[in-house]
Amino acid sequence: MRIILFLFTMVFFLSCYAAEDIYHFSSTEDQTRFAMLTSELRCLVCQNQNIAESNAPLAGDLRQQIFQQIQTGHSNQEIVDFLVDRYGNFILYRPPFNAGTIGLWFLPFILLFSGISYLVYYIRKKR
Amino acid sequence: MLPELGNFAIILALFFAIVQIAGPFVRVSGLQYTAVFSQFFFLAFAMLCLIFCFINNDVTVLFVRDHSHELLPLIYRIGASWGGHEGSLLLWCLILSGWTAFFLIFSLMKKNIPNELLTKIIMVLGYVSTGFILFLFSTSNPFKRDFPTEPISGNDLTPILQDPGLIFHPPMLYLGYVGFAIAFAFAVAVLLEGRLEKNWAHACRPWVIMPWSFLSCGIVLGSWWAYRELGWGGWWFWDPVENASLLPWLAATGLLHSLIVCEKREAFKGWTLMLAIITFALCFLGTFLVRSGVIVSVHAFANDPDRGVYLLGFMAIVIGSALVCYLLRIKHFYQPPKFQLFSRETFLLLNSVVLISAVATIVIGTLYPIVLEALNLEKISVGEPYFNTVFVPIMLPALFFMGLAPHVSWGQQTVITLWKKMRWTLFFSLLITALFPIVTGFEFHVLTSLGIFLGIWIIFATLQLFFQMKNKSILPVSAMMIAHIGIAILVLGMTLNKSYSVERQVKMLPGESVNLAGYQFTLNNIHEMNGPNYQSIAALFNVQNNRGKEFSVTSEQRIYLSHNQAMSKAGILVNMWRDLYLALGTSFSDGAWSVRIYYKPFVRWIWCGGFMLLLGGFLSLITFLQKKGERHEAI
Amino acid sequence: MRLFKLIRVGLPMMIFLGVMLLLWRGLTLHPAQIPSPLINKPAPQYRLPNLLNKKMMTERDLIGHVTLLNVWASWCEACAEEQSTLVAISQNKNFQIIGLDYKDNLADAKKWLQQYGNPYEVIAVDQTGNSAIDWGVYGTPETFVIDKKGIIRYKYIGPISMEVWEDTLRPVIEKLS
């Protein structure tokens, strides 16, 4: 019961001592967008971190870039396109769906499906 | 002197590893066994030599020079001996020979494996061991020396490794990883023999369960380490190296269950053998990925292409020959299924199919960028969003069946009786899932509810098993129950943590405060601190919960003297329900600091679930040791 | 039936061989180098001050010359490594070398040029790093080869040594001029 009501009842006290958010958004929706976008983009400097988490200066610049674009009303797709135009699909942790990545997206499910089908076939054939 | 002794010990170990292979061909009694123990002795000796080189900070040894420093605390010097490629490979070899020796003693004492088969198993292990020791000696010798003309100091251990995690995580992980060599050798030996002893599966089981427990624990320890050390409170990143450790775990989980059917029902023999080979092949693949440089990872060792070529060739020989054995001999093991479609056997087999699909998903995700690059197509990244969309849906049904399968009878079962047996459990699991957001005030999400439902369903269904046992002995199933509940707790922890974590990134001056998730965080002061080999800027925070209780926590930004690189050391307040995680970032010109504050609910449940897997594994071992003549009753 | 059996038994071997081949191929690839999507596209627009005389420069300065655009910074250790090569090849008048000073302290940058030499025709200063984002820069030093029409033709990541110059960059430039 201790955990009750902690969350989503966040009240930001606006006392004079309150620290300011580094990326201050006017709506929680924009804030979620920012969190989502930065976490799904790969940092190109230390290549196994996302932009949200990386301490590399470039990641900071890109966070700032994304922040500004959200503030100026760009859509997620526009922001992603902006980055892909400059850095290529490598920057996307969610690979785009295209001719080259069909195998990536479908093969696992095809394997699961054929595995289960074979299993059923195997058990039933010699009954 | 010590490095030369260590080097010599490695050569002797290599010699004994070769003798170990010769076992079945040279009929000298006890020769092979002596070789096993001598090999272990000499590798242990070599490891000790390396550790002493580190303790003495002998910079003439290149490996020590690259990973140690005169200021490095003693405990990390010991850990540093496996903190790089060469040393960790020595640890690999040592653990392999340790497992072999342990297996040999155990089998000789229990006399549950016929001599002929035992000799063959040891021989196969000899092959693996020879290959690795040769690899160690020829391409990655940790004792390679170089005498500098002027005094120099070492390059020091990477700051990120200077953490208690380094002491426990790699040995634990390797105990798991390498241990699967025994199950692999078992499978190959059985294939070579061409027939299956009746109690084969029973004799093999502890050699899957023990490494599996260690690997579970090792993975969780690694996750705990990354959580504390990397500074943003994540616990799983789908990094290729993490995937490399998850792959054998998934396959071994399949193997574990398949062995049960093999033992109790004498079915799936061929499939079980295949799984044993796959599991070890994945260990090999992991070793290759980490040490060859084909992938980019935060955890990968510095690499050189020769090592990749050697490992790949060796993997081709070992796994390739095992597969050839499989191809040639598998027809001797084929048996038509003797069970209905709706039976526990089917569910266990389904478990294998799902787990192997999961393995395939991760392999595809990890290797696909290489495929595209090899074809000169575009360069892509496969990360967390991919695995969340593909891997998670594949695993969800497996979790549901995890609660269900133990209630399904062997041989056959009707849907009606199962429904009658499980309907209340299902109902209460659904009820609690539905009540959860209402009672706790957490926001409702469909996927979160699904995760909660699966966790609660597994717990309830497993407990139901316990209450329906009546007069039967509890011990044999307790291991399974604890492991299954462990998974449930893991699932609950992961789901709730993923769904309800919140964070704020703020700019703070001393005296300022911030509210997050019902806590008030105040930055008290910023002061400087000195560690043994680093200087740090420490921020002292006061945290107050909404009932006025206060805690204090320090978060640091460390600069290691030898690396001149800042590293964030997060301050974490822990309890069972949530972690509060504070990471100090960079400073601003006005004296303010950027601070990331995270509220991470249920994160302890993840580690907790992981340790339950270890516990379950050990319980299962105890059961195994207790059961001597009882086994046939069980069947 | 036969086919099924064949698949069941032979599949693991086939998958294994496939993965082995792939990994073998993988050993010769460079996973950390990311190809630029800007190749064969016009150079991005920019408007940056010259380090030495504060005059504004734009992408139109690229037109009419074959250009080697080198992204560097005084804090970048690998940049110092390649400077001697750049100075040496700047004698060649078939192309111009333009510097892009990336997120740097101007005083440090000037001192650095005195220390290591200045091979650049002009140096554009990008203190915010925004222009570098347009160029898709992710680590210094990076070098772009741009043709006379202002189209990016090649990108080299990492310090340029004499070998790199002779083996990779020089042929590209000669083809363009």
Torsion-angle region of B92 (φ positive above 0: left; ψ -120 to 50: alpha; else: beta): alpha
Amino acid at residue number A51? I
DSSP 3-state assignment of C99? strand
- Cα separation of the two ends of chain A: 54
What's residue A3's pLDDT?
A: 42
Whole-number Å distance between alpha carbons of B605 and B498: 12
Q: Quick check: B517 and B599 in contact, CB under 8 A?
A: yes
The token pair at B417 is: 């009786």
The token pair at C117 is: 């030499």
The token pair at A6 is: 């902690």
Whole-number Å distance between alpha carbons of B596 and B594: 7
pLDDT exceeds 60 at position A11: no
**Partners of C50 in the β-ladder:** C124
Q: Quick check: B31 and B9 in contact, CB under 8 A?
A: no
What's residue B298's pLDDT?
A: 61
Handedness of CA B279, B177, B247, B217 (dihedral sign): positive
Which H or E element spans position B357?
helix B344-374
What's residue B496's pLDDT?
A: 94
**Partners of B506 in the β-ladder:** A21, B595
Say which of A44, A85, A118 has its CB closest to residue C138.
Answer: A44
DSSP 3-state assignment of B58? coil
Q: Quick check: C146 and C62 in contact, CB under 8 A?
A: yes
In total, chain B counts a number of residues equal to 635
What's residue B282's pLDDT?
A: 96
Query: Are the Cβ atoms of A61 and C129 closer than 8 angstroms?
Result: yes
Whole-number Å distance between alpha carbons of B189 and B195: 10
What's residue B482's pLDDT?
A: 93
What's residue B431's pLDDT?
A: 94
Whole-number Å distance between alpha carbons of B137 and B485: 44
pLDDT exceeds 90 at position C9: no
Whole-number Å distance between alpha carbons of B466 and C57: 78
Buried b (16+ CB within 10 A) or exposed e, B141-156: bbbebeeeeeeeebeb
The token pair at A81 is: 């396109």
Nearest-CA neighbor of B245 among B198, B211, B208, B206?
Answer: B211
Nearest-CA neighbor of B170 among B214, B119, B104?
Answer: B214
For range C4-32, the mean pLDDT: 84
The token pair at B110 is: 């229990």
**Chain centroid to CA B626:** 27
What's residue A114's pLDDT?
A: 92
- Cα angle vertex B253, ends B464, B175, to 5°? 120
Query: Are the Cβ atoms of B312 and C27 closer than 8 angstroms?
Result: yes
Which residues in chain C have their CB less than 8 angstroms from residue B281's CB? 16
Nearest-CA neighbor of B563 among B155, B97, B257?
Answer: B155
Say which of C34, C134, C139 has its CB closest to residue A90.
Answer: C34
Query: Are the Cβ atoms of B518 and A5 closer than 8 angstroms?
Result: yes
Closest CA of chain A from C71, distance in Å = 14
The token pair at B317 is: 């020989």
Whole-number Å distance between alpha carbons of B371 and B364: 9
Structural class in CATH, domain A21-96 = mainly alpha
Whole-number Å distance between alpha carbons of B333 and B268: 9
What's residue B472's pLDDT?
A: 67
Closest CA of chain A from C80, distance in Å = 19
Site from C133, C135, C140, C155 to mutate, A interface, most A CB atoms within 10 angstroms? C133
What's residue A4's pLDDT?
A: 38
Query: Are the Cβ atoms of B441 and A4 closer than 8 angstroms?
Result: yes
Say which of A47, A84, A88 has its CB closest to residue C35.
Answer: A88
Residue ranges in B519-563 assigned as alpha helix (H): none
The residue of chain B nearest to residue A55, with distances taken between CA atoms, is: B585
Whole-number Å distance between alpha carbons of B487 and B633: 29
- B384 HSE (CA, 13 A, CB side): 16
Q: Determine which of A42-46, B131-135, B593-597, C158-162 has the lowest per-residue pLDDT on average.
A: A42-46
What's residue B628's pLDDT?
A: 53
Closest CA of chain B from A35, distance in Å = 10
CATH number of C47-176: 3.40.30.10
The token pair at B534 is: 């680093």
Whole-number Å distance between alpha carbons of B294 and B621: 38
Whole-number Å distance between alpha carbons of B89 and B287: 10
Amino acid at residue number B78? I
Q: Quick check: B491 and B498 in contact, CB under 8 A?
A: no
ipTM of the complex: 0.87
Q: Using CB atoms, which chains have 3+ pairs under 8 A with A? A: B, C
For B436-494, the three-class secondary structure string (H helix, E strand, C coil) is HHHHHCCCCCHHHHHHHHHHHHHHHHHHHHHHCCCCCCCHHHHHHHHHHHHHHHHHHHH
Q: How many CB atoms lie within 10 A of CB B255?
A: 32
Whole-number Å distance between alpha carbons of B45 and B39: 10
Whole-number Å distance between alpha carbons of B338 and B345: 9
Chain B residues contacting C via beta carbons under 8 Å: 274, 277-278, 281, 285, 288, 292-296, 305, 308-309, 312, 315-316, 319-320, 323-324, 326-327, 330, 363, 367, 369-371, 373-374, 378-379
**Chain centroid to CA A16:** 34
Nearest-CA neighbor of C108 among C127, C95, C82?
Answer: C127
Q: List, for chain B, all residue ranges whose pLDDT scores fall below the cut of 50.
A: 629-635
pLDDT exceeds 90 at position A51: no
Closest CA of chain C from A1, distance in Å = 48
Query: Are the Cβ atoms of B288 and C25 closer than 8 angstroms?
Result: no
What's residue B112's pLDDT?
A: 83
pTM score: 0.91
Query: Are the Cβ atoms of A119 and B346 closer than 8 angstroms?
Result: yes
Q: Quick check: B347 and C43 in contact, CB under 8 A?
A: no
The token pair at B405 is: 């399968």
What's residue B36's pLDDT?
A: 94
For A31-88, the three-class secondary structure string (H helix, E strand, C coil) is HHHHHHHHHCEECCCCCCCECCCCCCHHHHHHHHHHHHHHHCCCCHHHHHHHHHHHHC
Whole-number Å distance between alpha carbons of C145 and C39: 9
Query: Are the Cβ atoms of B506 and A19 closer than 8 angstroms?
Result: yes
Amino acid at residue number B313? G
Q: Residues of C numbered 6-35 whose beta carbons fall under 8 angstroms of chain B's beta carbons: which are they?
A: 9-10, 12-13, 16, 19-20, 22-27, 29, 31-32, 34-35
DSSP assignment of A93-118, as one string? Answer: SS---SGGGHHHHHHHHHHHHHHHHH
Amino acid at residue number B256? L
Sequence-separated contacts (24+) of B104-108 with Cβ below 8 Å: B104/B33, B104/B36, B104/B37, B106/B206, B107/B203, B108/B33
Q: Using CB atoms, which chains have 3+ pairs under 8 A with C? A: A, B
**Chain centroid to CA B77:** 23
Whole-number Å distance between alpha carbons of B99 and B182: 8
The token pair at B291 is: 């040490």
Closest CA of chain B from C61, distance in Å = 31
Compute φ and ψ for C75, nearest 5 degrees.
-85, 0
Which residues in chain C have their CB less than 8 angstroms from residue A66's CB? none
Residues B587-629 have pLDDT tens digits of 888 888 989 999 999 999 999 999 999 999 888 888 877 765 4
Q: Which residues contact A29 (CB under 8 A, 6 or more apart)?
A: none
Rg (alpha carbons) of chain C, rounded to whole number: 22
What's residue A14's pLDDT?
A: 36
Q: Which residues contact B240 (CB under 8 A, 6 or more apart)?
A: A48, B289, B295, B296, B297, B300, B366
The residue of chain A nearest to residue C128, with distances taken between CA atoms, is: A61
- Cα angle vertex B536, ends B530, B538, to 5°? 110
CA distances from residue B7 to B131, B252, B429, C29 in whole angstroms, order as listed:
17, 34, 60, 34
Whole-number Å distance between alpha carbons of B183 and B186: 5
Q: Quick check: A87 and C34 in contact, CB under 8 A?
A: yes
pLDDT exceeds 90 at position C58: no
Which residues in chain A have their CB less than 8 angstroms from residue B237's CB? 48-49
Please report the number of interchain residue pairs, chain A to chain B, with beta-carbon separation below 8 angstroms. 183
Sorted by where each begins, the domain ranges of chain C are 1-31, 47-176
DSSP 3-state assignment of A4? coil
DSSP assignment of C59-96, as one string? Answer: GGGGTTS-EEEEEE-TT-HHHHHHHHHHHHHTT-TTSE
The token pair at A24 is: 């201050």
What's residue A10's pLDDT?
A: 36
